[in-house]
Amino acid sequence: MNDIKNKNKNNKNAVNSEGVEATEAQISVYWKEEAPVSPSVKFIAQANMSDSDIRERFKMENFPECFREYADMLTWDKYWHTTLDAGNPPFWKWFVGGKINASYNCIDRHLAKYKNKAAFIFVPEPEEESHIAITYQELYARVNEFSALLQDFAGLKTGDRITFHLPMVAELPVSMLAAARLGIIHSEVYGGFSGQACGGRIADSGSRVLVTIDGYYRSGNLVDHKANADIAVERAKSLGQPVDKVLVWRRYPGKYVSKSPMVKGRDFFIDDILKDFRGKYTLPVSLPAEAPLFIMYTSGTTGKPKGVQHSVGGYLSYVAGTSKYIQDIHPEDVYWCMADIGWITGHSYIVYGPLALAATSVIYEGVPTFPDAGRVWRIAERLNVNIFHTSPTAIRMLRKTGPDEPKKYNYHFKHMTTVGEPIEPDVWKWYYEVVGKKEAVIVDTWWQTENGGFLCSTIPALEPMKPGSAGPGLPGIYPVIYDENREEVKAGSGRAGNICIKNPWPGIMQTIWGDPKRFVNTYYSKYNKNKDSKDWRDWPYFAGDGAMDASDGYYRILGRIDDVINVSGHRLGTKELESACLTVPEVAEAAAVPVIDETKGRIPAVYITLKPGFEDKEREVTQKVISTIEKEIGKIAKPKYVYIVPDMPKTRSGKIMRRVLSAIPNKFDIGDITTLANPEVVEKIRLLVQGEAPVITRKRPEDLEHFGEER
């Protein structure tokens, strides 16, 4: 998944539908341009950033000093002397000479004004359990006690690594902020990952302490989570990394809900040990700005996951700045990001960004549609949430299960975010009209784990929204689109290419943990102009996404460049096919994958789920899907198969696993599905597509090796 270099080399000089020579990076784009939508006067009046001078302040001539504006939102123990040290590309150092602590910035400095305000509100999945508000004062106490425990009981110190394998519970940010207080580098492994996956990450990061929990709720079940810890420790050991302590939070302190036995001398209940640390404090450690704050593994299931390393000073500045200007977070707001803290979105925009701004951040334990399609809107109503943040997949799922539910609840959002994948204009409109009640602005934020924070989005009070487009580069972010020949693809040319960022920014990752070579190869080699150059201008960041720049400077993101289907040399983006399918009214979700074909090379197959009530319309919908694709895209894109399936296989972050869907009709090995939210659906789909016959698997050809790889 990493060495995107040399990919697609078979398709040089293919010919596209207009008979024009197409370069490798050229991906067909079929979405129509949508009319811009303006933010309301009411939103603008209260926005953090309504000064049109901002683009001027962050213009290229003012780089890198413009980013002082973000760093100045924080409290520094010592002010920095060099804003950007770019002397050793592409290992950028931000705010050099500065000293800072993230835990202090997210908690201590807010106490004078906000100690009685909720920092987090934990919403348990069982609806009969009360919400728990944790004030800044209470968070301060908990974080201090746990950091004292990490120091004195677990023997950890600045620079050590610690692995968390925690779900969506308040103990997760408590653990993160306690580690950050001491400069212990945390590595949170998404709670839905298997013990095996966790063990691999423990070993890679060199952690000898694992923090877990006995259980948590998902879809009404109390999941036994501690069992994963035993597998993780075994796996880490087999990879040469001993774990000497497993610290176990309990979902209900004092009551153990897991069946997995506690290992004597290794496993400890945190609530027991904390008794010895009641009222204890630790001093926040003053760290150099470029000290690592955390590692976040990108979740490839093939290829070794990459430990993306983020810095304390640069990262925190960037998430604070973007939370303020793009998320428009004020201390008075009730902000709910429905992502999981186990992903970068949660690190940046549930924990570090919002807390740096003294916000109230909601943590929801469970599944959005549990126990019914109204749950999300009931939470929003009850807590008076006014900023809402989620993904297109979640929006599609909420629309599928309850298209009219939002109307039944009395909540009002001023601001909504979408992140994680391209959002079809049709889905955008439902989000805007039904969820946002035409009152809320929407920001479509494009970025990656590697980036720390948003790269493209509109500034909500200043720039109109355009459904289907993320928007311009953020202040101080200068995107560019290159083709495979390293030529710039001009705005408004109607051509797509590889989106890159010309300049470094404070939120960019520092390196891949333990593998700086891979870091340079993956993100910089492709478009580096001269590997000996010490000038940052020669080192554009390669994101690995296809994109197109409309003439207005708004970027439309087309998805991973690997996710294309090459039909007789025509490169069809999976997103274009899927969005065409979604214009069929009965269709709830669509996923397009390539199927190997003797004559045409690859032909699309599409998987469809139906909206409730249309289950008996299979034949009709199949016909409609085919004719719509032919009409919207062309005969060349006609799918070989249309499979109507009960559900899509999804990661627990909500991404459809196209890798799995492409394996089935092609008879590739299906691979690891333990990280799926709904692994049981895979066999159902396999039966539907392959039937009962024994299956002889075949090897993935080179061009499809990385197709649909989830990140």
Our CA dihedral for 479, 483, 485, 487, rounded to 10 degrees, sits at -50
* Helix (H), strand (E) at residue 324: helix 313-325
Q: Which of residues 505-544 bind ligand WT7 (CB under 6 A)?
A: 543
Closest to ligand WT7 by CB, 316 or 645: 316
Residue 162 near residue 179 (C-beta atoms within 8 A): yes
Closest to ligand WT7 by CB, 160 or 421: 421
Closest to ligand WT7 by CB, 392 or 594: 392
Least distance from C-beta 394 to ligand WT7, angstroms? 12
Q: With binding defined as CB under 6 A, does residue 311 bind ligand WT7?
A: no
d(CA 346, CA 168): 10
Closest to ligand WT7 by CB, 298 or 309: 298
Q: Which residues pair with 337 in a beta bridge?
A: 389
Task: Fill in the per-residue mask, 400 to 429: x = in contact with ligand WT7 (CB under 6 A), - = not in contact.
Answer: -------------------xxxx-------
Six token digits for residue 274: 């904390």
Please pick, from the candidates 333, 340, 444, 647, the single residue that binds ligand WT7 as defined by CB under 6 A.
444
Cβ atoms within 10 Å, residue 479: 23
Q: Classify residue 31 by its DSSP letter.
A: P
Burial, 705: exposed, middle or buried (Cβ in 10 Å; 0-12, 13-18, 19+)? middle
Q: With binding defined as CB under 6 A, does residue 637 bind ligand WT7?
A: no
Six token digits for residue 304: 């070794």
579: which residues sit within 8 A by CB, 6+ positions away? 30, 31, 424, 425, 426
Q: With binding defined as CB under 6 A, does residue 446 bind ligand WT7?
A: yes
Q: With binding defined as CB under 6 A, does residue 315 bind ligand WT7?
A: no
Please pick, from the candidates 84, 287, 312, 344, the single residue that binds ligand WT7 as defined by CB under 6 A.
344
Least distance from C-beta 221 to ligand WT7, angstroms? 26
Burial, 699: exposed, middle or buried (Cβ in 10 Å; 0-12, 13-18, 19+)? exposed
Please pick, from the candidates 559, 594, 654, 665, the single residue that binds ligand WT7 as defined by CB under 6 A.
559
Site stretch for ligand WT7 (CB under 6 A), options 177-185, 443-451, 638-646, 657-665:
443-451
Among the listed residues 203, 219, 189, the one whose alpha carbon sits nearest the alpha carbon of residue 299: 189
Please report, in angstroms and rounded to a whole number, the separation of the first and last CA atoms in the chain: 9
Please pick, from the candidates 560, 624, 650, 659, the single residue that binds ligand WT7 as defined by CB under 6 A.
560
Site stretch for ligand WT7 (CB under 6 A), options 54-62, 111-119, 447-455, 592-600:
447-455
What's the length of the chain? Answer: 711
Closest to ligand WT7 by CB, 99 or 347: 347
Burial, 42: exposed, middle or buried (Cβ in 10 Å; 0-12, 13-18, 19+)? exposed
Closest to ligand WT7 by CB, 449 or 566: 449
Site stretch for ligand WT7 (CB under 6 A), options 433-441, 534-542, 552-560, 592-600:
552-560
Least distance from C-beta 319 to ligand WT7, angstroms? 12
Task: Fill in the per-residue mask, 271 to 300: x = in contact with ligand WT7 (CB under 6 A), - = not in contact.
Answer: ---------------------------x--
Cβ atoms within 10 Å, residue 48: 17
Among the listed residues 384, 306, 311, 385, the one whose alpha carbon sits nearest the alpha carbon of residue 352: 311
Q: With binding defined as CB under 6 A, does residue 604 bind ligand WT7?
A: no
Q: Which residues pair with 185 in a beta bridge?
A: 161
d(CA 124, CA 134): 13
Closest to ligand WT7 by CB, 405 or 444: 444
Closest to ligand WT7 by CB, 76 or 542: 542
Q: With binding defined as CB under 6 A, does residue 436 bind ligand WT7?
A: no
d(CA 604, CA 301): 23
d(CA 450, CA 523): 9
Please pick, from the candidates 94, 122, 431, 447, the single residue that binds ligand WT7 as defined by CB under 6 A.
447
d(CA 694, CA 697): 10
Please pick, from the candidates 205, 449, 579, 662, the single residue that binds ligand WT7 as defined by CB under 6 A.
449
Spell out the SS3 assignment of 373-402: CCHHHHHHHHHCCCEEEECHHHHHHHHHHC
Q: With binding defined as CB under 6 A, does residue 656 bind ligand WT7?
A: no
Site stretch for ligand WT7 (CB under 6 A), options 118-126, 166-174, 501-509, 557-565:
557-565
Beta strands in 464-573 (DSSP E): 479-482, 496-501, 511-512, 541-549, 555-560, 564-567, 570-573
State the number of binding residues for ligand WT7 (CB under 6 A).
20
468: which residues sit within 8 A by CB, 6+ positions away? 31, 34, 422, 423, 424, 425, 428, 556
Closest to ligand WT7 by CB, 602 or 711: 711
Least distance from C-beta 567 to ligand WT7, angstroms? 22
Closest to ligand WT7 by CB, 345 or 510: 345
Closest to ligand WT7 by CB, 300 or 569: 300
Please pick, from the candidates 151, 369, 390, 448, the single residue that binds ligand WT7 as defined by CB under 6 A.
448
Q: Classify residue 351 by its DSSP letter.
A: I
Which contacts qualify for 404-408: CB closer than 8 Å, 24 or more apart?
404/434, 405/373, 405/374, 405/377, 406/377, 406/434, 406/435, 406/437, 407/434, 408/374, 408/377
d(CA 222, CA 167): 12
Q: With binding defined as CB under 6 A, does residue 711 bind ligand WT7?
A: yes
Please pick, from the candidates 4, 54, 243, 470, the single residue that binds ligand WT7 as defined by CB under 6 A.
470
CA 112 from centre of chain: 33
Least distance from C-beta 1 to ligand WT7, angstroms? 11
Q: With binding defined as CB under 6 A, does residue 545 bind ligand WT7?
A: yes
Least distance from C-beta 690 to ligand WT7, angstroms? 29
Site stretch for ligand WT7 (CB under 6 A), options 191-199, 211-219, 446-454, 660-668:
446-454
Least distance from C-beta 506 to ligand WT7, angstroms? 16
Closest to ligand WT7 by CB, 420 or 472: 420
Least distance from C-beta 270 to ligand WT7, angstroms? 29
Closest to ligand WT7 by CB, 314 or 420: 420
Least distance from C-beta 710 to ligand WT7, angstroms? 8
Main-chain phi, psi angles of 234, to 5 degrees: -60, -50
Least distance from C-beta 60 to ligand WT7, angstroms? 24
Q: With binding defined as CB under 6 A, does residue 353 bind ligand WT7?
A: no
Least distance from C-beta 543 to ligand WT7, angstroms? 6
Least distance from C-beta 218 to ligand WT7, angstroms? 21
Binding residues for ligand WT7, per CB under 6 A? 298, 344-345, 419-422, 444-449, 470, 543, 545, 557, 559-560, 711
